């Protein structure tokens, strides 16, 4: 087995593994124990794209370093979700307070630091395997807590104090975090290391997800000096109120100016989309 040519390994595995369908649960990894070379060639394929949660990264780092460094070298795409702490059963039926929002802001900042620490480890291993120039895509799918769900046993009229909420669907009152916009701790953002391997960064806007200030996403993107493509989608809702929306928009404009000032040499594609809860949101605040 150890004497088989590399080309033969590639051909055999190409028959069993469709690289374009990388999220399908394949049975190929179970054969990685046949031999060391068999494991190496299988993992070069099965570790090209990974989907992780930030609360898994501490343990995951050991699986991409040292004798497993070839996994880091094989990576071409990472999809990540930022996971926040759970709240109590009683709290899940209540709106988040300012203290709750601040606590989650800190948690998001800490989880983001964990993500960048993992990316830094991956980058160091890629250098060791001479694959640091291989493009690496990063997608941060969502920010959520396991207890993010519809409020339990609540009277919807409680959240219909104004006409704006009365004419809105249940979505406006059914989420504990519904009226909040999260922000990163600025000293934490400044301390993040630069990651040279990331050439594509995307933040999609999934329905019913927590929102981070779009300006903070831009500041994260600025940590990728060789970024080529940036795609950012976010939502705005009248429920935030004019004061919050104006502050968020101003911060977003400032962050874009900061990004332009840095003049990233490789950046050639920027896509920014903003979704609205109702048609009135398209007008200035």
Cα–Cα distance between 122 and 134 in angstroms, integer? 12
Cβ neighbour number for residue 11 with a 10 Å cutoff: 10
Cα–Cα distance between 280 and 285 in angstroms, integer? 9
Give the phi and the psi of residue 92 in degrees, each rounded to 5: -65, -15
User: Residue 51 pairs with which residues in a beta bridge?
Assistant: 79
Residue 43 confidence (pLDDT) = 74
What kind and span of H or E run contains 220? helix 214-221
Residue 195 confidence (pLDDT) = 95
pTM exceeding the 0.95 threshold for the entire prediction: no
Residue 162 confidence (pLDDT) = 43
Residue 281 confidence (pLDDT) = 47
pLDDT tens for 232-270 read: 998 876 667 778 888 888 999 999 998 888 878 889 999
- Cβ 62 vs Cβ 119: under 8 Å: no
| Three-class DSSP category at 87 | coil
For residue 164 the two structure tokens come to 């704006």
Residue 224 confidence (pLDDT) = 95
Give the phi and the psi of residue 271 in degrees, each rounded to 5: -120, 120
Residue 283 confidence (pLDDT) = 46
* DSSP secondary structure code for residue 150 in this structure: B
Query: Is residue 81's pLDDT more than 90?
Result: yes
Reported confidence tier of residue 68, pLDDT bands at 50, 70, 90:
confident
Higher pLDDT, 156 or 191: 191
CA angle 160, 165, 166 (to 5 degrees): 70
Higher pLDDT, 200 or 30: 200
For residue 209 the two structure tokens come to 């997800």
Closest to 145 in 3D by CA, of 192, 168, 173, 111: 111
For residue 212 the two structure tokens come to 């981070």
Residue 187 confidence (pLDDT) = 85
What kind and span of H or E run contains 194? none
């Amino acid at each position: 087995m150890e004497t088989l040519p590399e080309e033969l390994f590639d051909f055999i595995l190409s028959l069993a593994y469709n690289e374009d369908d990388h999220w399908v649960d394949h049975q190929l990894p179970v054969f990685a124990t046949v031999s060391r070379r068999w494991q190496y060639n299988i993992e070069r394929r099965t570790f090209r794209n990974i989907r992780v949660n930030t609360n898994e990264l501490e343990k995951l780092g050991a699986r991409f370093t040292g004798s497993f460094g070839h996994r880091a070298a094989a990576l071409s795409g990472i999809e990540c979700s930022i996971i926040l702490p759970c709240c109590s059963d009683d709290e899940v039926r209540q709106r988040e307070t300012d203290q709750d929002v601040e606590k989650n802001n800190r948690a998001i900042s800490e989880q983001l630091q964990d993500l960048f620490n993992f990316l830094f480890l991956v980058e160091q291993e890629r250098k060791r395997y001479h694959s640091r120039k291989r493009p690496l895509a990063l997608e941060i799918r969502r920010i959520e807590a396991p207890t993010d769900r519809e409020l339990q046993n609540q009277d919807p009229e409680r959240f219909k104090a104004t006409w704006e909420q009365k004419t809105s669907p249940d979505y406006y009152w059914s989420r504990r975090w519904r009226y909040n916009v999260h922000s990163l701790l600025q000293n934490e953002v400044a301390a993040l290391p630069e990651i040279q391997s990331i050439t594509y960064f995307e933040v999609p806007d999934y329905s019913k997800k927590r929102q981070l200030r779009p300006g903070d996403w831009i500041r994260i993107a600025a940590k990728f000096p060789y970024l080529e493509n940036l795609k950012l989608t976010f939502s705005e809702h009248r429920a935030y109120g004019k004061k919050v929306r104006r502050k968020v928009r101003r911060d977003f404009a400032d962050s874009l100016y900061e990004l332009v000032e840095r003049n990233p040499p490789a950046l050639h594609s920027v896509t920014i989309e903003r979704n609205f809860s109702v048609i009135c949101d398209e007008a200035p605040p």
